[in-house]
C-alpha cells in the first residue's frame, strides 16, 4: 500500500484515465475525492472504489471555474483533514482543421485544459504549502510535442499544461511540494474513440481501415490501457518518487520521444 492514509483528489474521474487513477489510488490505501463535471458518472467511480474496499466520495467540478475547483479542495480537507495528492486529469479535445479553428474553440480548450490545470495547481498548492508537502500531477499529451494535423488547439492547450507544470515545479518544490506531468499517447478510452472516429471522417476512411497504420506508429504496437498509465500516477504520488520534480513522464509506448 504505497499511498496508505494519503488524501487525493482526481479530476476527470468519471471515466477513462481519471477513473483508473481513482481505483488504483484506493487500492494503494488513499482516500480519494472523485471529481468530474459528469456528477453521475463520478459517483459511479466512487461507488466502484468503495466496493473495492476503499474510501471515496464523488463531487461535481467544472475545472474551468476557479471557485468550483476551490470547492473540491475544501471538501477533501473538510472530509479527511488534509490534501496530499492532486491529479488534474480532466480534459477535452477538439478535432478541427487548422484553417477552420475558431477563437471560441481555442478559448474553450484553454479554459478546460490549461486554465483548469492552473486552477487545480493553485487550489491544491495553497493547502499543500501550509503543510509543507504534497504531490501535484498534471496530464499533458504526446500531441503537445508531435505535429498532429487537425489538433492544433488541443496540442497548444497541452503545451500550456507543460509550462504550468515546470513553473509550478520550480516555485513549489522548495516548499516541499513535487509537481510532475504524465504524457499519455493513445489510451483505450472514450476520448481516443472519438479522436479516431473524427480523424477517420476527415480522411474519408473508416476507423477500421486506419487502425493498422495508427498502431504501426506506436513502437510497442498497441494502445495503452488506462490502468497502465494510472500505475505511473501511483508511482509519481508515492514516496519512491520523492526526488522527481518537474518531470514529464512519457507513457506513450514510444509514440513520441521528445
Ligand atoms: N485518451 C488519450 O489517448 C489521451 C492521450 C493523451 C492525453 N490524454 C489526456 O488524459 C486525460 C484523460 O483523458 P481520457 O482519455 O481519460 O478522456 P475521457 O474523455 O475519457 O475523460 C475525460 C474526463 O474529463 C471530464 N471533464 C471534461 N471537462 C471537464 C470539466 N470542465 N470539469 C471537470 N471534468 C471535466 C469528462 O467528463 C470526462 O469524464 C485528459 O486530460 C486527456 O487530454 C488522453
Model pLDDT for residues 109-168, shown as the tens digit of each residue: 999 999 999 999 999 999 999 999 999 999 999 999 998 999 999 999 999 999 999 999
Return the closest-CA partner of residue 46 out of 86, 73, 6, 19.
19
Which residue's alpha carbon is at the smallest distance from atom 19 of ligand 1?
Answer: 191
Q: Candidates 3.40.50.300, 3.20.20.70, 2.160.20.10, 3.40.50.720; correct CATH number of 7-186+226-251?
A: 3.40.50.720
Q: Kindly report the CA angle at 181 between 200 and 183, in degrees rounded to 5?
A: 25
Distance CA 150, CA 240 (A): 39
- Report residues of the chain scoring pLDDT below 70: none
Which residue's alpha carbon is at the smallest distance from atom 32 of ligand 1?
Answer: 62
The pLDDT, as a whole number, for residue 258 is 86
In angstroms, what is the span from residue 174 Cα to ligand 1's centroid?
30
> Is the distance from the beta carbon of residue 43 to the nearest atom of ligand 1 less than 6 Å?
no
Task: Output the pTM of the full model.
Answer: 0.98
> Is the distance from the beta carbon of residue 187 to the nearest atom of ligand 1 less than 6 Å?
yes
Burial class (CB in 10 A: 0-12, 13-18, 19+), 64: buried
* Residue 99 DSSP symbol: G
The pLDDT, as a whole number, for residue 73 is 98
The pLDDT, as a whole number, for residue 179 is 98
Annotation marks residue 154 as catalytic: yes
The pLDDT, as a whole number, for residue 85 is 99
Is residue 95 within 8 A of residue 195, CB to CB? The reply is: yes
The pLDDT, as a whole number, for residue 61 is 99
Which residue's alpha carbon is at the smallest distance from atom 17 of ligand 1?
Answer: 191
The pLDDT, as a whole number, for residue 110 is 98
In angstroms, what is the span from residue 89 Cα to ligand 1's centroid?
6
The set of cell numbers assigned to 53 is: 474496499
> Is the distance from the beta carbon of residue 34 to the nearest atom of ligand 1 less than 6 Å?
no
In the block, cell 509537481 appears at: 179
The pLDDT, as a whole number, for residue 101 is 94
Cα of first residue to Cα of last residue in the chain, in angstroms, is 33
Which residue's alpha carbon is at the smallest distance from atom 23 of ligand 1?
Answer: 12
Amino acid at each position: 500500500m504505497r499511498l496508505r492514509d494519503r488524501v487525493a483528489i482526481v479530476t476527470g474521474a468519471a471515466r477513462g484515465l481519471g477513473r483508473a487513477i481513482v481505483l488504483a489510488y484506493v487500492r494503494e490505501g488513499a482516500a480519494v475525492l472523485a471529481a468530474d463535471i459528469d456528477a453521475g458518472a463520478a459517483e459511479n467511480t466512487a461507488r466502484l472504489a468503495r466496493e473495492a474496499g476503499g474510501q471515496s466520495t464523488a463531487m461535481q467540478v467544472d475545472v474551468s471555474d476557479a471557485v468550483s475547483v476551490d470547492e473540491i479542495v475544501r471538501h477533501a480537507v473538510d472530509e479527511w483533514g488534509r490534501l496530499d495528492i492532486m491529479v488534474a486529469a480532466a480534459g477535452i479535445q477538439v478535432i478541427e482543421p487548422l484553417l477552420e479553428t475558431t477563437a471560441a474553440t481555442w478559448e474553450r480548450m484553454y479554459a478546460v485544459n490549461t486554465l483548469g490545470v492552473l486552477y487545480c495547481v493553485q487550489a491544491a498548492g495553497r493547502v499543500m504549502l501550509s503543510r509543507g508537502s504534497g504531490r501535484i500531477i498534471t496530464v499533458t499529451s504526446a500531441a503537445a510535442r508531435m505535429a498532429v494535423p487537425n489538433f492544433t488547439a488541443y496540442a497548444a492547450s497541452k503545451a500550456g499544461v507543460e509550462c504550468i507544470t515546470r513553473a509550478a515545479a520550480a516555485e513549489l518544490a522548495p516548499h516541499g511540494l513535487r509537481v510532475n506531468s504524465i504524457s499519455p499517447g493513445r489510451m483505450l478510452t472514450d476520448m481516443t474513440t472519438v479522436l479516431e472516429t473524427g480523424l477517420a471522417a476527415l480522411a474519408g476512411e473508416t476507423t477500421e481501415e486506419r487502425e493498422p497504420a495508427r498502431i504501426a506508429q506506436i513502437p510497442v504496437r498497441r494502445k495503452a490501457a488506462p490502468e497502465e498509465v494510472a500505475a505511473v500516477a501511483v508511482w509519481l504520488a508515492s514516496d519512491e518518487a520523492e526526488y522527481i520534480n518537474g518531470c514529464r513522464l512519457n507513457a506513450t509506448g514510444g509514440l513520441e520521444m521528445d
